[in-house]
Structure 1
């Protein structure tokens, strides 16, 4: 896939989705893959289901032992509920009166969960080594036993010290898990879903006293080799070292300066240090179709040597707008992350139009923006980069005229872009009109650079951008939930239409995700919690 093909592929993902997902595509649900990966015939370590029922504030320090780590994983990516939703009589077929599902604590496109979590752990009550988190059975499965500090330090270019951490997480993507339904469009969802998961991991980590950093740059094939992943099936998207105490984290410029004094390390040289893993796992699908464009995009995104690592990235250029409207300042109200995670709800036809207060919107925006700050290997030292932004169309918000706005996190204000109620315009732009936007007082859009970070990171910049957008989406969903509302992330919209509404093209920006939000009512369904 040459450079022109990559640009064309990315344009299809955002502006011509029929080319990325054929409209006549019919998924074979009888042959669908499992939403979680199941390894066979390997040692496993089950976790208890008696997870804590409240997670408020931040403890003084974490406890690096398997029981609390299991609680951490459950609230990050665990299967939390069994749900059976009633359907209208006209939808019923013989023997079908409701829809059954197992819900997790985070959302995923189509409920398919293409991401998996692996861990390198050095806990006193577990053998040291590489594990897979089996979300279906809430347990760890051992893949490779041993100490791999030096290997991982080299795979990350010497930018972290293993001795300061009790382990590291690896967020991967299993391509077939959602490409069977979304074809090439799955590539966009895979990055967004990974970002949503990263956002939840970091939020839960603070409740357990963990210090975490997100590394988007590493030697892909060396890390995949360590975990025993087959490149045509799955690849790691982010590495997240974890510590149970506070540590200093140098910015990427200091890290890159330190790397400049070391010889560049290649993935091939590391791979030769470890034998290959052959681990059997169950997919369920009998007929796994090919997804060549997704594989070629992943191949073009790989980093083969540590000399390719880069910091930086340009913040979004500000769109022209009117006089900023200051929002009331207040400290975000602490919320119980356990309650919000267990009660997660994604409305569709369930929004109910009710008044929203100016202070209420202010707290949602401020909490979202404060939560988005996190340690990573992209930001410049001492600076908080904003490679993704947040815009919104608001209707009926007390003290705020109807219109389209850009949120300025630095000044905590709304910059007016267009006056008026734009819900009908956005409804017209839905390519899959599963939400009645006339019932939503708030419609947010996460925005980002149209070049998708390619000047800095090449094709890898696209998936980095999608992950950061997904993280911002999860921070927004948690903020909405703490305010008694909910949001529904959507990708079925005309991006050019939304972009024109916010004057994004002039700033070189585009809308990455659309999130209608507001008060809602629960639809009829039976629910059962899956914790002790």
Structure 2
């Protein structure tokens, strides 16, 4: 199968990308976190703040506040225990222990890892892995790497103004063992959800981030000492405490360092290989993931491409429903993050007010604005991914399917009537009763996955941006007292037909039921002091 056909099936016919006889070997499952062995570790302060109510005044970054930042982004936050009820009588029932993080992950498998290059006064400068299992930093390379990382980014960012650089990777086996080739779709979405949490946490700590989706892949992998058969960097996020950092030098061209190829850049650093533990004894091959990763790589800064600005609204329909004005939500991110879980069977049908729906939509899209190297200073991500939704029983509007026009703060009717039967019929895994859920959102984007501009790299960027929007939607929903459950177990063709997306060249990337919920039965405890 060629890569283009594979990505098409991944979206529209996922059964084709997974062997019909594939069975998950849970007894040989990998750990949901990476453990390096025989490397120096730095424990991080465990007395994390219990509230993140507002933006802090930027102070001098140090090990303490950087450690708190990392924990709220991707640390092990809660342990919960529930009861597994098997489908077959011969299988024993038993307790299920889960270690949760604040950002959700498909199947709770967390295929992404976080690394960070730090330059702090109270820590040796160098490249570290964030060991979530022990809330510590593991030193991979000691030294200053501003020049090297700057070249890998095409000298577009003045790293002298940055105290750190986060690198988010995807570790292929961590969810391939369960989902097979379908894991490629999940890895990008999961990385995006992590980035969404990182950007929201950054605001609370007064840090200034910028997301770079384009970089010299093999150079940054070489810096971390990664085997590209196991793991690869998906996004690079410099962090600054200075609001006037120059993020976008040479954005439209790569004159400085643009001709430096990955092999030439890698020669500047000695290769390193570090021993790590994954637990699985039998790791099977995943050739399609390797081929896609290689096809997505950029071998020099001369391959970087900014995206042309597109208008996100289009022509407004005359019958659009103008939503009531809503103030931006003010909430404690720490409390909302602790509340967040995927309700699944715990949704309850209650009426949602039009004001709550308006606040949910406005907060989700307003918080989605972020710095990135695709848009530069324009922050135009909303033109690439948009929100559609099917609403039932919302006070003040007719039941039906709508498109949200963020610029006008209005709902454009797409299909009238109760759409819950359509949605339920389109579920491939009937783990939710959509008749109990008043709001069901879909994140939609270009069916070509930015391929004409960015090639195969465009697919994973699109999935990441969809994940970032999903995390904003989840945070806003829980801040309003509702829950959300992202899922991919739906028929994309059916969802596209519901909204008429194909005629606009779009497709539904992920489905997120949202609504009131009841607490579920489980034992739960926080992992903070």
TM-score by length of 2: 0.96
Asked if 1 retains the 8 angstrom alpha-carbon contact of 2:151 and 2:257, the reply is no
Asked if 1 retains the 8 angstrom alpha-carbon contact of 2:158 and 2:245, the reply is no
Does residue 126 (structure 1) correspond to residue 130 (structure 2)? The answer is no
Distance in 2 (alpha carbons) for counterparts of 1:316 and 1:509:
13
Gaps of 5+ in 1: none
RMSD (CA atoms): 1.7
1:324-363 equivalences under 5 Å are: 324-363=320-359
Asked if 1 retains the 8 angstrom alpha-carbon contact of 2:313 and 2:405, the reply is no
Q: Which deviates more from structure 2 when the two are superposed, residues 83-92 or residues 261-270?
A: 83-92
Does residue 448 (structure 1) correspond to residue 445 (structure 2)? The answer is yes
Provide the residue aligned with 1:430 in structure 2.
427
Provide the residue aligned with 2:319 in structure 1.
323
Distance in 2 (alpha carbons) for counterparts of 1:167 and 1:35:
25
CA positional deviation for 1:255 = 2.7
Provide the residue aligned with 2:215 in structure 1.
218
Asked if 2 retains the 8 angstrom alpha-carbon contact of 1:312 and 1:380, the reply is no
CA positional deviation for 1:496 = 0.7
Gaps of 5+ in 2: none
Provide the residue aligned with 2:37 in structure 1.
40
Asked if 1 retains the 8 angstrom alpha-carbon contact of 2:86 and 2:92, the reply is no
Provide the residue aligned with 1:515 in structure 2.
512
Does residue 478 (structure 1) correspond to residue 475 (structure 2)? The answer is yes
Asked if 2 retains the 8 angstrom alpha-carbon contact of 1:76 and 1:200, the reply is yes
Asked if 1 retains the 8 angstrom alpha-carbon contact of 2:75 and 2:132, the reply is yes
CA positional deviation for 1:244 = 1.4
Distance 1:514 1:321, change over 3 A: farther
Q: Which deviates more from structure 2 when the two are superposed, residues 89-98 or residues 40-49?
A: 89-98
Asked if 1 retains the 8 angstrom alpha-carbon contact of 2:168 and 2:235, the reply is yes
Distance in 2 (alpha carbons) for counterparts of 1:315 and 1:499:
21
Asked if 2 retains the 8 angstrom alpha-carbon contact of 1:427 and 1:437, the reply is yes
CA positional deviation for 1:87 = 4.6
Provide the residue aligned with 2:281 in structure 1.
286
CA positional deviation for 1:502 = 0.6
User: Alignment partner for residue 68 of structure 1, among 65, 73, 77?
Assistant: 65
Deviations 1:155-179 (A, max 9, x none): 0000001110001000000000000
Asked if 1 retains the 8 angstrom alpha-carbon contact of 2:155 and 2:256, the reply is no
Distance in 1 (alpha carbons) for counterparts of 2:137 and 2:405:
42
Asked if 2 retains the 8 angstrom alpha-carbon contact of 1:445 and 1:514, the reply is yes
Deviations 1:7-52 (A, max 9, x none): 1011111111101223432110000000000000100001122110
1:23-172 equivalences under 5 Å are: 23-87=20-84, 96-172=93-169
Asked if 2 retains the 8 angstrom alpha-carbon contact of 1:169 and 1:242, the reply is yes
Question: What number of residue pairs does the alignment pair up?
Answer: 527
Aligned to 1:218, the other structure's residue is in SS state coil
CA positional deviation for 1:260 = 3.4
Aligned to 1:289, the other structure's residue is in SS state coil
Distance in 1 (alpha carbons) for counterparts of 2:256 and 2:275:
41
Distance in 1 (alpha carbons) for counterparts of 2:459 and 2:450:
6
